């Protein structure tokens, strides 16, 4: 079965950098990969394209009625295909609605897009509003992950996102920890994952190489391919490609989450 995944998590936790580095790692291992940037910031593919921004589907649709595959799908590092949905004018329209319009457009201009081995939807923010889960509700995504650190707010967001998944009947593929160097972080996120009925499928250390590569406009896999962090992303890509587990998450209540967080800060 083709992997069509989305990674949810608190804003700023590292969804886009994780998505782009995994995309690059999977492509280097011979997979056909498509990344669909769903954040109005349209920054999902920038590090796969040497720091260049590509035209977004929604921006082009404002200019002309029909667009072609070559207008919005660009080949980046390792052959990863990149598309950016774009967003409505700030304060106007619904970003979630825009995602649906863009994906319907993608189906028309690139009908065989599901032939890719891995499709990653890089979704915005932590708000599991109706809009941001649109790709799931519409049946575009068949596997979801939550990305969190061991800090309280990202964990809170991750837990809340799981509530949203339960609400819409979406099973969870697993939890990924993107470290912020919190106390005993791996153990904490491992226990969180187990408590919600899932498992920690990857641990990404905090590494300044991620940001320096990003600043230069590249993924770690392209700019620092021999680094330890590149190996982490490669391993995570393998774990994701092989992962078959799906669970109905059992989110914690507020007190359980607070107690868990306290336990690891003592
Ligand atoms: P999101 O998409 O969740 O909003 P981003 O992917 O844009 O978050 O990441 C936010 C910032 O954190 C970026 O500057 C990114 O380079 C940095 N970052 C993400 N993961 C790591 C990491 N493992 N180590 C160091 N910096 C990271
Ligand atoms: Fe934004 Fe979500 Fe509201 Fe749409 S439903 S306008 S995506 S917050
Ligand atoms: Mg992002």
The whole-number pLDDT of residue 127 equals 66
Nearest CA to ligand 1 atom 24: 206
The whole-number pLDDT of residue 189 equals 98
Q: Which of 3, 39, 122, 126 is catalytic?
A: 126
User: Is residue 15 among the annotated active site residues?
Assistant: yes
Q: How many angstroms does the Cα of residue 132 sit away from the middle of ligand 2?
A: 7
User: Is residue 52 among the annotated active site residues?
Assistant: no
* Alpha-carbon gap, residue 24 to 223, rounded angstroms: 11
Residue 248's closest CA among 173, 156, 151?
173
Please name which ligand lies nearest the alpha carbon of 97: 2
- Model confidence over 21-37: pLDDT tens digits? 999 999 999 999 999 99
Alpha helices in the chain (DSSP H): 15-28, 57-63, 69-72, 95-109, 134-137, 152-168, 185-195, 208-216, 220-223, 228-242, 254-263
How many other β-carbons are positioned within 10 Å of the β-carbon of residue 71? 15
The ipTM value here is 0.97
Q: Which residues are within 8 A (CB) of 15 and not within 5 positions of it... i.e. 6 or more apart?
A: 7, 8, 9, 122, 123, 147
The whole-number pLDDT of residue 128 equals 61
Q: How many angstroms does the Cα of residue 43 sit away from the middle of ligand 3?
A: 7
Nearest CA to ligand 1 atom 4: 12
- Model confidence over 92-126: pLDDT tens digits? 888 888 899 999 999 999 999 999 999 999 998 76
Ligand 1 probe mutation, 132, 149, 210, most atoms within 8 A of CB: 210
pLDDT at 152 over 80: yes
């Amino acid at each position: 079965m083709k992997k069509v995944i989305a990674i949810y998590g608190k804003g700023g936790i590292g969804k886009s950098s994780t998505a782009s580095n995994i995309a690059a790692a999977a492509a280097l291992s011979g997979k056909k990969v498509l990344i669909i940037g769903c954040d109005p910031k349209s920054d999902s593919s920038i590090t796969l394209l040497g720091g260049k921004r590509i035209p977004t589907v929604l921006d082009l649709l404002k200019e002309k009625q029909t667009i072609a595959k070559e207008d919005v799908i660009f080949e980046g590092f390792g052959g990863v295909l990149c598309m950016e949905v774009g967003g409505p004018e700030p304060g106007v329209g619904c970003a979630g609605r825009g995602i649906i319009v863009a994906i319907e457009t993608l189906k028309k201009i690139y009908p065989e897009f599901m032939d890719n081995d891995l499709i990653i939807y890089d979704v915005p923010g932590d708000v599991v509003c109706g809009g941001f889960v649109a790709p799931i509700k519409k049946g575009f995504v068949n596997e979801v992950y939550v990305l969190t650190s061991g800090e309280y707010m990202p964990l809170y967001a991750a837990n809340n996102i799981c509530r949203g998944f339960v609400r819409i009947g979406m099973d969870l593929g697993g939890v990924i920890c993107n470290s912020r160097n919190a106390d005993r972080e791996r153990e904490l996120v491992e226990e969180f994952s187990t408590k919600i009925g899932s498992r920690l499928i990857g641990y990404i250390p905090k590494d300044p190489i991620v940001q320096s590569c990003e600043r230069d406009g590249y993924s770690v896999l392209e700019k620092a391919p021999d680094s330890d962090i590149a190996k982490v992303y490669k391993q995570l890509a393998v774990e994701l490609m092989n992962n078959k587990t799906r669970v109905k998450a059992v989110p914690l209540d507020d007190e359980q989450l607070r107690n868990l967080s306290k336990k690891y800060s003592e």
